[in-house]
């Protein structure tokens, strides 16, 4: 069994801004006033165009995507997550932007 998830988890103001600027993206409502924006390859390409280098530990988090996420976090809290598993082996990585969100994530773990 395998799975691969690449997504942004964010508060309503950030989700609205991202969806308004990128109408091909969709959001799934989560609990605690959060939403998840799943990202496939085409979605990632619609956000930024430079994936020539990626941040260590991530498959898709490029410096350009980090800048995009940082810019979006000025309006609230967000997290970017990647998971990829196949046959019980795999990896997961995440970053968060915004102090309140980081505190909530620490309490949830």
pLDDT > 70? residue 101: no
pLDDT in tens, 31-81: 999 999 999 989 998 888 887 888 888 888 988 898 899 888 887 889 999
Average pLDDT over residues 81-89: 87
Q: What is the value of pTM for the model shown?
A: 0.83
CA angle 31, 37, 41 (to 5 degrees): 155
pLDDT of residue 103: 44
User: How deeply is 78 buried, as exposed, middle or buried, from its count of CB atoms within 10 A (0-12, 13-18, 19+)?
Assistant: buried
Q: CA–CA distance from 86 to each of 7, 18, 89 (Å)?
A: 18, 30, 5
* Predicted confidence band of residue 100 (pLDDT cuts 50, 70, 90): very low
* Predicted confidence band of residue 18 (pLDDT cuts 50, 70, 90): very high
Q: pLDDT over 90 for what percent of the chain?
A: 38
């Amino acid at each position: 069994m395998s799975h691969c998830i690449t997504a942004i988890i964010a508060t309503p103001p950030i989700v609205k801004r991202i969806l308004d600027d990128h109408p091909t993206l969709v959001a799934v409502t989560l609990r605690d006033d959060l939403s998840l924006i799943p990202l496939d390859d085409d979605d990632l390409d619609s956000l930024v165009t430079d994936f020539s280098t990626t941040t260590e530990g991530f498959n898709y988090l490029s410096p350009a995507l980090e800048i995009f996420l940082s810019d979006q976090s000025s309006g609230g809290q967000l997290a970017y997550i990647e998971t990829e598993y196949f046959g019980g082996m795999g990896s997961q990585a995440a970053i968060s932007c915004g102090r309140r969100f980081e505190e909530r994530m620490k309490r949830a773990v």
